[in-house]
C-alpha cells in the first residue's frame, strides 16, 4: 500500500498541471489515499479489509504486518489516566451492508462500567464507526 501512495500523489499533481486547476491539499490527500487503496485492492482481491477502513486509516497496514488478508487486528487495551474513563467503540458491516455498533466503557483500573451493542441498519463501515461514536457522545451528554 505505501509503495502505491507516491504514484497516486504524482498522478493527482500531473492531472492538476494538465487541467490547469489549483492544488487543494485536502483533495490531494483524499484522492491519493483512495487511489492507492483501490489499486491495492485490485492486487489483493481476496482481502477482507473494507476499503472505508483503509481510506480512513491507512496505518492499519502497520498493524497487519505481512498478512494483509486478515480482517482481525489485535491491539492491546491501554487504561486511561488516573481518574478518567475510556470508551472503546467499533462499527462493522456485513457484505450485504447490514451494520452494527458496539462499545465498552471502562475506568482507569480496567473495570467495565457499561457495554452496548446495537444494529444500526444498512450503510458502510465508516458510517457504523461514526454511529458508534455518536452513541457514546449521546450517552455521556444525557
pLDDT at 37: 75
7 φ/ψ angles, rounded to the nearest 5 degrees:
-65, -35
Kindly report whether the global pTM for this prediction surpasses the value 0.85.
no
Instruction: Provide the edge-to-edge strand list for the sheet that holds 98-107.
Output: 85-93, 98-107, 112-122
8 A C-beta contact, residue 12 and residue 32: yes
- Nearest Cα to Cα of residue 44 among 12, 75, 99, 4: 4
**Per-residue confidence (pLDDT) for residue 111, from 0 to 100:** 93
Q: What is the pLDDT of residues 37-84, one digit of tens each?
A: 777 777 776 766 666 666 666 666 555 554 444 455 566 778 888 999
| Rounded Cα gap, residues 40 and 51, in angstroms | 10
Round to whole Å and give the CA distance between 24 and 13: 10
The pLDDT of residue 54: 67
Q: Which domains does the chain have, with CATH numbers?
A: 5-64 (no CATH), 85-141 (3.30.420.10)
Cβ-based neighbours of 92, under 8 Å, separated by 6 or more: 99, 100, 125, 128
Mean pLDDT of the chain: 76
**Residue 91, C-beta contacts closer than 8 angstroms, at least 6 positions apart:** 99, 100, 101, 102, 120, 125, 126, 127, 128, 129, 130, 131, 132
Task: Give the span between the Cα atoms of 96 and 85, in whole angstroms.
Answer: 35
Report d(CA 105, CA 111) in Å as an integer.
8
* pLDDT surpasses 50 at 93: yes
Q: How far apart are CA 71 and CA 95, in angstroms?
A: 13
Cell numbers at 77, concatenated: 487495551
Amino acid at each position: 500500500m505505501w509503495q502505491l501512495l507516491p504514484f497516486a500523489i504524482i498522478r493527482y499533481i500531473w492531472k492538476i498541471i494538465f487541467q490547469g486547476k489549483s492544488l487543494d491539499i485536502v483533495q490531494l490527500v483524499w484522492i491519493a489515499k483512495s487511489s492507492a487503496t483501490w489499486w491495492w485492492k485490485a492486487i489483493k482481491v481476496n482481502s477482507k479489509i473494507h476499503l472505508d477502513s483503509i481510506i480512513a486509516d491507512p496505518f492499519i497496514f502497520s498493524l497487519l504486518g505481512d498478512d494483509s488478508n486478515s480482517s482481525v487486528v489485535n491491539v492491546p487495551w491501554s487504561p486511561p489516566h488516573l481518574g478518567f474513563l475510556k470508551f472503546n467503540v467499533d462499527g462493522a458491516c456485513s457484505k450485504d451492508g447490514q451494520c452494527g455498533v458496539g462499545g465498552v466503557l471502562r475506568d482507569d483500573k480496567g473495570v467495565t462500567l457499561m457495554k452496548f451493542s446495537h444494529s444500526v441498519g444498512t450503510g458502510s463501515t465508516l458510517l457504523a464507526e461514526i454511529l458508534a461514536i455518536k452513541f457514546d457522545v449521546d450517552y455521556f451528554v444525557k
